[in-house]
């Protein structure tokens, strides 16, 4: 982070750019413990750490799951803090007893720069799984269930007010930023949506990077969060609604490197020569468990239909299709909440590197998608938020060009059948209790 700021300011100085404010995007659903002196005394825990799966299961048995989803907008799953706190209290009570405050990584960074606690954006508070989505305060009932007092969590800034006044040594290191407003960090998923959707604010955005997500900004809070999705509050009037998977481009990487030995640039060569679903394989791509829509943190990857004639490229193509089918399942839940035929925009490194995978996704969804050409949509989203908060004309008006991909109806029909086959396998394995 410090190195990135140094390099950005060096470029700004060369271009004689005036800095008016700082927008920040941070990886969401992180937490670390600070001792009484403000020093980190735990590692940084993230959503991807599923060691607390058993604790998430036990928590679901102890509380009213439907009521928690209604209050917080999030399911009781290993990726959220309720199960994390319960796991730490069970496995490392000595460590948890040394923690005076729990903060996100973004709060820790701001506190380092400003030498004081700076508050927590509504966005990051919502990503914790502990926010009462209507009252916009920490959910006291859920905190009581995991033995955490609200006083040891960050102060939620519902207005997302900026902070000013860097502390030493940063004030001398970054004089351009010393007296400008720094806006509280937003979740990277929200920033990605803002930066990808551009002027089409109500677009459904599908992002495929290492992980993957399907999201849209809606007036919030919504009256009811659809089963399988989540709602993260953005501000007093808006929410980010959608679902996410921990398995996205990382699935492609695993199959390419382990089985096919292919580079990123070769995916399109492979996809251009393969007929949809001609391999006869069904892949459940749960290398790191499942989030939306089934929220099965014990799920594991499965390949069904292997033959002696199966080639490595068959496995790669089936994996890309399998990830796309999971995204389509989330999209099917989200689309009715938009209130009109959704316009779909896509972004993320995995799709930017592969036009064929982007076209495959359009075929699976059965609708046109526009791939954003913004080089860094997440950073762009943080800039959009900061500019609009400062009252400046938004760079939304300078919307990035996009490349449109239209679906092939015949391929869509083939993929509908393959997706149904994947869902049947999912149900069968879930019924056996092996996921």
Which pLDDT score, from 0 to 100, does residue 198 have? 79
Give the model's confidence band at 60: pLDDT under 50 very low, under 70 low, under 90 confident, else very high.
Answer: very high
Say which range, 53-57, 264-268, 295-299, has the weakest mean pLDDT.
Answer: 264-268
Class of domain 187-435: alpha beta
Second-level CATH architecture of 2-177: 2-Layer Sandwich (3.30)
pLDDT for the residue numbered 433: 64
For residue 359, CA distances in Å to 105, 139, 158, 369, 415 come to: 36, 42, 40, 8, 13
Q: What is the pLDDT of residue 434?
A: 46
- Count of other CB atoms within 10 angstroms of residue 363: 24
**Quick check: pTM over 0.85?**
yes
| pLDDT tens digits, 147-175 | 999 999 999 999 989 999 999 999 999 99
> Is pLDDT above 90 for 142?
yes
pLDDT of residue 315: 94
How far is Cα 247 from Cα 209, in angstroms, rounded to an integer? Answer: 9
* 280-287 average pLDDT score: 97
Token look-up 């405050």 returns 101
The first and second tokens of residue 369, run together, are 């998608």
Q: 346-358 burial, b if ≥16 CB within 10 A, otherwise e?
A: bbbebbbbbbbbb
57 pLDDT more than 50: yes
Q: Confidence class of residue 406 from pLDDT cuts 50, 70 and 90?
A: very high
For 432, other C-beta atoms within 10 Å of its C-beta total 8
- Mean pLDDT for 174-199 is 93
Structure confidence at residue 217 (pLDDT): 95
Averaged pLDDT, 11-33: 90
2-177 shares its CATH topology with 187-435: yes
Handedness of CA 357, 358, 363, 365 (dihedral sign): positive
The predicted-structure confidence for 227-281, as pLDDT tens digits, reads as follows: 999 999 999 999 999 999 999 999 999 998 888 677 767 789 889 999 999 999 9
pLDDT of residue 15: 83
Distance CA 56, CA 264 (A): 36
Rounded average pLDDT over 30-34? 97
How many percent of the chain have pLDDT more than 90? 82
Rounded distance, CA 153 to CA 151, Å?
A: 6
Domain ranges of the chain: 2-177, 187-435
User: In this model, does residue 359 exceed pLDDT 90?
Assistant: yes
Opening angle at CA 283, ends 279 and 288, nearest 5: 150
| Residue 205 near residue 345 (C-beta atoms within 8 A) | yes
Torsion of CA 325, 27, 55, 232, to 10 degrees: -70
């Amino acid at each position: 982070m410090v190195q990135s700021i140094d390099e950005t300011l060096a470029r700004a100085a060369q271009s004689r750019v005036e800095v008016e404010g700082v927008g920040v995007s941070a990886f969401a659903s992180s937490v670390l413990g600070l001792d009484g002196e403000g020093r980190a005394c735990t590692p940084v825990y993230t959503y991807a750490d599923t060691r607390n799966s058993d604790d998430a299961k036990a928590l679901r048995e102890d509380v009213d799951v439907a009521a928690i989803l209604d209050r917080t907008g999030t399911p009781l799953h290993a990726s959220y803090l309720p199960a994390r706190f319960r796991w730490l209290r069970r496995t490392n009570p000595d460590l948890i007893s040394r923690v005076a405050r729990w903060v996100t990584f973004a709060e820790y960074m701001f506190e380092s720069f400003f030498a004081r606690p700076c508050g927590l954006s509504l966005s990051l508070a919502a990503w914790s799984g502990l926010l009462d989505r209507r009252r916009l305060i920490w959910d006291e009932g859920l905190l009581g269930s995991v033995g955490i007092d609200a006083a040891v969590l960050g102060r939620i800034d519902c207005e997302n007010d900026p902070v000013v006044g860097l502390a030493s040594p940063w004030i001398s290191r970054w004089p351009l930023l010393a007296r400008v407003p720094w806006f509280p960090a937003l979740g990277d998923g929200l920033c990605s949506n803002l930066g990808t959707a551009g002027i089409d604010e109500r677009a459904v955005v599908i992002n495929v990077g290492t992980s993957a997500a399907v999201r849209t900004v809606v007036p919030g809070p919504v009256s009811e969060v659809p089963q399988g999705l989540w709602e993260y509050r953005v501000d007093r009037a808006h929410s980010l609604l959608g679902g996410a998977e921990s398995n996205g481009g990382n699935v492609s990487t695993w199959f390419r490197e382990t089985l096919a030995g292919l580079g990123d640039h070769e995916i399109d060569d492979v996809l251009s020569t393969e007929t949809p679903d001609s391999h006869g394989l069904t892949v459940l791509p749960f290398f790191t468990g499942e989030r939306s829509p089934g929220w099965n943190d014990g799920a594991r990857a499965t390949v069904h239909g292997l033959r002696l004639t199966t080639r490595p490229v068959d496995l790669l193509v089936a994996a890309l299709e399998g990830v796309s089918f999971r995204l389509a399942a989330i999209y099917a839940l989200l689309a009715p909440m938009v209130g009109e035929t959704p316009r779909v925009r896509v972004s993320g490194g995995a799709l930017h590197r592969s036009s064929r995978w982007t076209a495959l996704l359009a075929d699976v969804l059965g609708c046109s998608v526009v791939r954003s050409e913004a080089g860094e949509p997440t950073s762009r989203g943080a800039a959009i938020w900061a500019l609009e908060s400062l009252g400046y004309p938004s760079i939304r008006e300078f919307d990035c060009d996009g490349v449109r991909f239209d679906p092939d109806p015949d391929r869509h029909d083939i993929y509908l059948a393959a997706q149904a086959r994947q869902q049947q396998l999912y149900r069968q394995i879930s019924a056996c209790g092996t996921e």
